Chain A
Amino acid sequence: MKDYFTNNRNDLIFILVFIIFVLISYITKFDFGVRVFGNFKVSFLEMISYMPFIFILIGLFEAWVPREIIERHTGKESGVIGAVWVILLAMLQMGPLYFAFPVAYLLWKKGTSMINIYIYLGAFTTMKIPMLSFEIGYLGLKFSLLRTILALPLFIIISIIIDRIFGRDFKMNNPLNEKRK
């Protein structure tokens, strides 16, 4: 609980200031403040009513999907089949882009090719299932499908281009390891 407050200190202070601002606006009948809160309330109620369900969906997903089965196949398989495995692995993960770098490093150590490592990064950024469920919930199926279908060939092309330029002496480093020494 204490960690929670220190980690989110700035946000929590900001929220508190906003609450005080709204209260004062209502007492002094400050029109702008009242309008801001009116707008905030509409968006907030709409957003927050979906959220528990999507988070429960993601929680279920995290608890039930056997990621290890897919991890066993990455690195061993090369070429197109390898690409399918790394895309599957990426789709089952969660988190921002920088979460993918250490995983990419592990894939590289296991022998995954440069193309497939970049395909992994591409899939991680645009095709994660937990994120897609969020996207579909808020922006609609049509938009989410369209964006994903467009992104897939583009990040494969990016991977091929990068491989053509740097593929010969591709090497990854693990900055986390270096620090430990």
Chain B
Amino acid sequence: MKLLLIITLILLLFSLIFDRKKTFSALKIAWNLFINILPSFLTILILVTILLTLLPKEVLAGILGEKSGVFGFVVAAVLGSISLIPGFVAYPLSSVLLKNGASYPVIGVFITTLMMVGIVTLPLEKKFFGLKTALIRNVLSFIAAILIGLAIAFIWRIL
């Protein structure tokens, strides 16, 4: 994380030296993104902290933790497929879940289905690609997400 901060500051400095106008527009883009993501970010963070306060750590670890097995994968995959959370919110949320007992493979399944599978956006995808193609892409992506979770679980132990 510290590395990221240093890289950002160095790049910002370079950007300022080379092109002030571009740097200004970059900061404006950053501010707009931040301010637009903030309300939904806060809402989801509030909901998650309420949930985490209600559920003891052991319970969450039982649902999404290392020993949750197939059940954890299914819960994560279904949640990821049906929800429409922007990545800007999903990553901080996932890091909160990790700190409260969720495992990396389960989070991998959640993140991948969240990004690749979209039940909510299926009607729109159907309009562009046709129903059959859209359905098959989503089903295959769902399977891929589970495979990614399994592979992360396997490799994590070796590394």
Contacts and interface: CB of A to CB of B under 8 A. Distances in A.
A151 interface: yes
A157 B22 CA distance: 39
B interface SS class: helix
A40 B141 contact: no
Interface string A141-181: 01100110011001101100110011000111111000000
Contact of A8 (B39, B48, B130, B144): B39
B56 interface: no
A126 B86 contact: no
A143 B151 CA distance: 12
Contact of B128 (A53, A101, A125): A101
Interface string B12-23: 100100000011
A139 interface: yes
Interface residues on B, range: 35 or more
Given A59-B30, A62-B26, A175 B124 contact: yes
Given A126-B112, A158-B141, A14 B46 contact: yes
Contact of B148 (A136, A150, A157): A150
Nearest to A41: B49
B61 interface: no
Contact of A97 (B115, B144, B151): B115
Interface residues on A, range: 35 or more
Contacts of A43: 45, 48-49, 92, 96
Nearest to A105: B128
- Interface centre among A14, A60, A162, A175, by most B CB within 10 Å? A60
Contact of A147 (B23, B50, B152): B152
Given A62-B26, A118-B137, A139-B95, A40 B111 contact: no
B87 A134 contact: yes
A80 B156 CA distance: 31
Nearest to B156: A146
A54 B91 CA distance: 12
A11 B39 contact: yes
A139 B28 contact: no
A93 to B, nearest CB: 12
B107 A39 contact: no
Nearest to A141: B3
- Interface centre among A15, A58, A133, A150, by most B CB within 10 Å? A150
A137 B115 contact: no
Contacts of B11: 57, 60
Contact of A15 (B43, B92, B128): B43
